[in-house]
Amino acid sequence: MDIINLLKLDFNDEDFSHIRTIRKSVFNTELGISENELFDKHDETCDHFLIFDGKNIVGSVRIISMDHIVKLERMAIVKNFRVKNYGKNCISQIKDYYSSKGFSQIILDSIYSVRGFYKKCGFVEEGDIFQRVGIEHIRMSLTF
Ligand SMILES: CC(C)(COP(=O)(O)OP(=O)(O)OC[C@H]1O[C@@H](n2cnc3c(N)ncnc32)[C@H](O)[C@@H]1OP(=O)(O)O)[C@@H](O)C(=O)NCCC(=O)NCCS
């Protein structure tokens, strides 16, 4: 498996500009989600991770902590770097990191058409399909 590294940062770090670029290209340009939906108040307080392949920034994700659970959001691998196991590897590292901090579950709201990726990472579907930003989603969870 290709090795990737995660850099943890927060909203005030200079490198947050890379997260802006990635979200704009993946969620706005590619998926057509409005620019107004790309950032919200959670960005100021949650954990952010940039994903590196050793040479390039290949993606980003944010994590919101709640009691014993974390919520994974805005998972994005830049188009040219997909299907190289970077996403799966990232989730595995996120799981190990938050497990070591005493958390026992990751939840997320998957774009419905992408749920197969999260299933490959060990997540299971929960509940019904719902609409958000005009796209079908489903809640998924991974308990450890
Ligand atoms: C979804 C996404 C994060 C997957 O990242 P990735 O690095 O390409 O995925 P990986 O290479 O780690 O794939 C891991 C496994 O999931 C599979 N997979 C990848 N994308 C998939 C998809 N969209 N649907 C179903 N399975 C998928 C891979 O084939 C691989 O399977 P394997 O373990 O049998 O080889 C990436 O495609 C992406 O950023 N998409 C656009 C933004 C998006 O939809 N984000 C999710 C918001 S909920």
pLDDT tens for 53-69 read 999 999 999 999 999 99
The ligand 1 atom nearest the CA atom of 86: 7
Output helix, strand, coil percentages for the chain, rounded to the nearest 5.
35, 40, 30
Q: What is the pLDDT of residue 89?
A: 97
Residue 9 alpha carbon to ligand 1 centre in Å: 23
* CATH (domain of 63): 3.40.630.30
Residue 43 alpha carbon to ligand 1 centre in Å: 23
Mind giving me the DSSP string for 85-124? SHHHHHHHHHHHHHHHTT--EEEEEEEGGGHHHHHHTT-E
Count up the domains in the chain and report the number. Answer: 1
Residue with token string 């107004």? 36
Ligand 1 atom 43: residue of nearest CA = 76
Amino acid at 110: S
What's the chain's Rg over C-alpha atoms? 14
Parallel, antiparallel, or unpaired for β 69-77 and 105-111?
parallel
**Residues with pLDDT less than 70, the chain:** 1
Among 114, 115, 132, say which to mutate for ligand 1: greatest number of ligand atoms within 8 Å of CB: 114
Q: Are 61 and 49 in contact (CB under 8 A)?
A: yes
Integer Cα distance of 37 and 104 in angstroms: 29
Ligand 1 atom 29: residue of nearest CA = 83
Look up the domain containing 72 and give its range.
5-143
